[in-house]
Structure 1
């Protein structure tokens, strides 16, 4: 017997899952079948690759060596497949996104980064849908957000890189609101307001807002869920609602943006790609394009420009 890519994949899945049962479920095989396959792999490798530990199965010294080599080989194969796909000029790059502020300038940046290649772009309201469609091959790359400590699980065969590790959400309210002149606003001062519900409901945002308001001593009234930007802004300008917002959002007549004391709600922006469709160099180009699109909006509000300059640790890497 010779080791094949499927054997290397099995070894990696066992290590990642921490148990044969979970690894078998991820691979779509029975646990006895995976156990038998592991024994055959171990005979070829010349010894045990895993032992049972307190937290499940753990790699032996030999197992760690095989894992290192297996991951390298699988990564090279992913890059080979992605490179071949990228080299075909007739194959479009399929990008999926949620509604982030940086999208307004993203298209031009991506056009420059992957000049000459057709790009298709679709917007989704659900991060869960984005990741599922990435795993199924509908998208090659996705751009999405996470709020506070929420982490979006990613499918197998996907890599991800954090674009912005933290940005403090602020509040948008009518320019006629009694708090409009304040430099910073305590969340508790907004008790009794009608809130725009966040468009995405599975990125941790709604839970983060409710938890932050509870900490401030009230339960928010989540009254509106509107995806149309103009209607969203018009309701706020009319004084009928307030909303949390990315600090890079544009200035809009009739409304003001103000930071919240203590930064109770923060966001994170990530880029994820299918390794079988997007090569590592191409992922770097896309990361740079998204970073430049974000940076173009940093100075939209002086308070965020000041915060950004004071927090270099959250800046995109290598841009």
Structure 2
């Protein structure tokens, strides 16, 4: 006889109720039938599962071992069934997404919301967001890391969505705004504006500037709107992801040699239903963002190692 889930439920019911008679009432099975079933289980498992007398039924050492496994397996199967039902019914299952600043979130939400309910939470801290996924407060997190840096949390599953160069935003009236590409050294006299984060990007930028022979001037750390304004009025050059959609009055220009890279990562809580599908949707959202950026799209023709992950 093969062991089935219903057999584990019988063993658990007898142990929890303390007697075969009480378990038969709980399970809605006649006591003689339950007793016969227990005897068949004991023969199949090779030993007595319960010591039975007038005071009730107590698990034997074999019974304790089987019961311990049953208490793990039965809730796990119940959770699997519940997750499957929620996933099959798109109106009942949703995704909670955390994200840092980037051009992919809107496209990903648009794609997921066509089939699932979606909620979002944003933060400048990728470590905070990854921690929320690990604790179960979020299902997914969309972040970026500098170059080949490791993601901030090894307890969740990560997939690379795409790798972009970092470009520079300048005022459309800037003397260098019409250049097809700029050496980083040509920007040595600029003030800079960047959005905040908790990775190594600031250090990598400083190192790139040092290799180009200069130390960056004032660096303003501000939100996206403020960085955009500072660039528009010619107060600062702004480092941006190549998928960024430049606002009116701005020119987005590649930096020669792509000294700075930004890797988009999607972190997923283990056992999140449809994780592979979400990764595919995120990559399609990234590809859409690339297509919306003529400057980046043209640059990729000459630099095919970048772009959306396969």
- TM-score, normalized by length of structure 1? 0.66
CA distance in 1, matches of 2:171, 2:298: 23
Change (3 A) 1:155 1:182: same
CA distance in 1, matches of 2:293, 2:213: 29
For structure 1, list consecutive stretches of 5 or more residues without a partner in the other structure: 1-76
Deviations 1:14-63 (A, max 9, x none): xxxxxxxxxxxxxxxxxxxxxxxxxxxxxxxxxxxxxxxxxxxxxxxxxx
- Alpha-carbon contact 2:161-2:279 (below 8 Å) kept: yes
| 1:215, distance to aligned residue in structure 2 (A) | 0.9
| 1:92, distance to aligned residue in structure 2 (A) | 3.6
- Alpha-carbon contact 1:188-1:213 (below 8 Å) kept: yes
Deviations 1:184-230 (A, max 9, x none): 11111111211113321x23211111111111111113432222x33
CA distance in 2, matches of 1:255, 1:309: 23
For structure 2, list consecutive stretches of 5 or more residues without a partner in the other structure: 1-74
- Alpha-carbon contact 2:146-2:200 (below 8 Å) kept: yes
Change (3 A) 1:189 1:314: closer
Q: Which residue of 2 aligns with 1:299?
A: 291
- Alpha-carbon contact 1:96-1:123 (below 8 Å) kept: yes
| 1:246, distance to aligned residue in structure 2 (A) | 0.8
Change (3 A) 1:243 1:136: same
Aligned counterpart for 2:82 among listed residues 68, 81, 84:
84
Q: Which residue of 2 aligns with 1:160?
A: 158
CA distance in 1, matches of 2:180, 2:276: 38
| 1:291, distance to aligned residue in structure 2 (A) | 1.5
Q: Which residue of 1 aligns with 2:174?
A: 177
| 1:175, distance to aligned residue in structure 2 (A) | 0.9
Q: How does 1:139-154 map to 2 (within 5 A)?
A: 139-154=138-153
- Alpha-carbon contact 2:195-2:227 (below 8 Å) kept: no
Q: Which residue of 1 aligns with 2:60?
A: none
Query: If you compute each CA radius of gyration, which structure gives the higher value, 1 or 2?
Result: 2
Q: How does 1:1-319 map to 2 (within 5 A)?
A: 81=79, 84-85=82-83, 87-88=85-86, 90=92, 92-112=94-114, 115=115, 117-156=116-155, 158-164=156-162, 166-200=163-197, 202-227=198-223, 229-276=224-271, 278-279=272-273, 282-316=274-308
Change (3 A) 1:123 1:303: same
SS in 2 for 1:219: coil
Aligned residues: 232
Change (3 A) 1:111 1:181: same
SS in 2 for 1:100: coil
| 1:177, distance to aligned residue in structure 2 (A) | 1.0
Change (3 A) 1:177 1:79: farther
CA distance in 1, matches of 2:98, 2:281: 15
SS in 1 for 2:277: helix
- Indicate the larger mover: 119-128 or 91-100: 91-100
| 1:299, distance to aligned residue in structure 2 (A) | 3.0
SS in 2 for 1:99: coil
SS in 1 for 2:119: strand
Change (3 A) 1:216 1:289: same
- Alpha-carbon contact 2:194-2:227 (below 8 Å) kept: no
| 1:86, distance to aligned residue in structure 2 (A) | 5.7
* Higher-RCO chain (CA-CA 8 Å, sequence separation at least 6): 1
CA distance in 1, matches of 2:102, 2:253: 19
